[in-house]
A and B are shown apart, each in its own frame.
Chain A
């Protein structure tokens, strides 16, 4: 394993360690979304997916 790979492993492992307590805190304290809330997120997400499919067809 080259030192670049070791560096990437250290960086990603560090990020995981850093994010873990924040993730636990977010799970415990963030408000729960209703069906309407999730719909409000899914609509732009579908638009993003369709847009990326358009971009992929453009570069092919």
Chain B
């Protein structure tokens, strides 16, 4: 009897902890998305060069790899995650400027599309409560292949490969959103700062890939 009560109490605590991580993740994610959008607006207004955007992206990746894991378990992780998302937002400046000049509707469609895909996939993972932990290897191998092909395409400069890579990125990032949300639900991810950084990166990559796809297929010139 006492044993059963302890199991129920432990299970209830676990559900509460999961809900807390989920709530904190979505709260921080929404704040970082707004902050990143402001940074992207500044990048557009400043007419940031590709070189400066690249520097912002490199600094953001360095923060993600070396600073965030050391600070994610303390309050210091919050300004770090804002710095990371702000720099990535700023790095979007030149790409946004380009597509805004070509066809502003593409940017708005990509933005709305990303929002619908993210909300739809999150709702799917949350309502079905499926465990997507089996996808870890598939997603990591997919990401590795895409990065390798992207590196190769810097030298080849093939537009068809660029488009294929963007289509692959959309699928892989969709998988990452399902995987990360499922990890939060099933207790695989208990740090809301790391969960926010991971989901933010998936959303950003999804948006950029969608922007390139819509730009390629939607441009009739």
Contact residues of A with B, CB < 8 Å?
Answer: 3-5, 7-16, 18-20, 22-23, 26-27, 30-33, 37, 40-41, 44-45, 47-49, 51-52, 55-56, 58-60
Contact = CB atoms under 8 A, between A and B. Distances in A.
B134 A32 contact: yes
A11 B116 contact: no
A45 B175 contact: yes
Nearest to B131: A37
A20 B151 CA distance: 15
Going nearest first, the 8 A-B pairs with the smallest beta carbon separation are: A59-B218, A33-B134, A30-B136, A23-B140, A12-B151, A26-B140, A26-B136, A26-B137
Contact of A48 (B130, B137, B170): B170
Interface stretch (B3-11, B21-29, B53-61): B53-61
Interface in B133-151: 133-137, 139-141, 143-144, 147-148, 150-151
A41 B140 contact: no
Contacts of A37: 130-132, 134
A44 B144 contact: no
Contacts of B2: none
Given A41-B175, A55-B110, 14 more contacts: A9-B151, A11-B61, A12-B150, A12-B151, A16-B147, A18-B65, A23-B141, A26-B140, A30-B134, A44-B121, A48-B120, A51-B117, A55-B210, A59-B103
A44 B120 CA distance: 8
Nearest to B174: A48
B58 A11 contact: yes
Contacts of B133: 30-31
B52 to A, nearest CB: 10
Interface string B205-218: 00000100110011
17 contacts: A12-B147, A12-B150, A16-B144, A19-B144, A19-B147, A26-B140, A30-B137, A41-B132, A41-B135, A44-B174, A44-B178, A45-B175, A49-B171, A51-B117, A55-B113, A59-B109, A60-B220
A58 B174 CA distance: 21
Nearest to B55: A7
B210 A27 contact: no
B123 to A, nearest CB: 10
A31 B134 contact: yes
A11 B133 CA distance: 28
B106 interface: yes
